[in-house]
């Protein structure tokens, strides 16, 4: 079951959901619009390793916007910090953004119960597109879970992305690989 606008407001009031900043005008019939934060991260190399930290740089989007070009993976983040204690959040692109050839995630559209952070966006474009900080970039949809969660994401020792950070977060797959390697030896 997907939460309606009324149910999202009730969940916010009960503390089962938290969105900061919350903008009433961003609430749709059954979703909540999120906005592009002011920073992008780009990896320094074109060939990326999965087994080690990757050098990257952070760019601040100027007030007059920034041109994104094809062939580059841009990590962005939402302005909104969110917490979901009871509902499974999914991040989807807005159709108006998709119609410009902007994709906001390649694989990571689902959050976990207990995810408390800004959402990192995996942005790529089909052709050059100018973007602006604060523009609507996606929408969160909240699903009701059929059962109880034993260990929420933010309580898992292995959770890689639980430190609150408004900057786009690079991949920490290398940590999982190291952890996996340590358990095999």
Terminal alpha carbon distance of the chain: 43
Q: In which region does residue 160 sit, left (phi positive, over 0), alpha (psi from -120 to 50) or beta (all else)?
A: alpha
Distance CA 83, CA 145 (A): 15
Q: Which of 132, 131, 120 shows the shortest CA–CA distance to 91?
A: 120
Please report the beta strands in the chain, taking only residues with DSSP state E, as ranges in sequence order: 17-20, 32-43, 56-60, 66-68, 74-84, 87-93, 102-103, 116-125, 129-131, 136-144
| 83 carries an active-site annotation | no
122, 148, 163, 181: which is the annotated catalytic residue? Answer: 122
33: Cα separation from own chain's centroid: 12
Quick one: tokens of 141?
A: 């949809």
Residues identified as active-site: 122
């Amino acid at each position: 079951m997907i939460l309606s606008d009324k149910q999202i407001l009730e969940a916010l009031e009960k503390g089962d959901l938290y969105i900061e900043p919350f903008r009433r005008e961003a609430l749709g019939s059954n979703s909540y619009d999120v906005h592009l934060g002011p920073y992008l991260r780009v990896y320094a190399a074109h060939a990326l390793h999965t087994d080690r930290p990757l050098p990257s740089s952070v760019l601040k989007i100027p007030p007059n916007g920034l041109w994104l070009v094809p062939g580059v993976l841009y990590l962005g983040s939402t302005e909104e910090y969110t917490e979901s204690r009871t509902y499974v959040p999914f991040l989807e692109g807005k159709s108006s953004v998709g119609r410009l050839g902007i994709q906001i995630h390649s694989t990571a559209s689902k959050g976990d119960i207990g995810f408390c952070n800004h959402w990192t966006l995996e942005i790529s474009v089909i052709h050059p597109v100018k973007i602006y900080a604060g523009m609507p970039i996606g929408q969160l949809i909240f699903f009701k879970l059929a059962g109880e969660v034993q260990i929420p994401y933010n309580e898992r020792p292995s959770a890689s992305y639980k430190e609150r950070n408004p900057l786009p977060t690079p991949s920490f797959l290398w940590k999982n690989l190291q952890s996996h390697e340590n358990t095999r030896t």
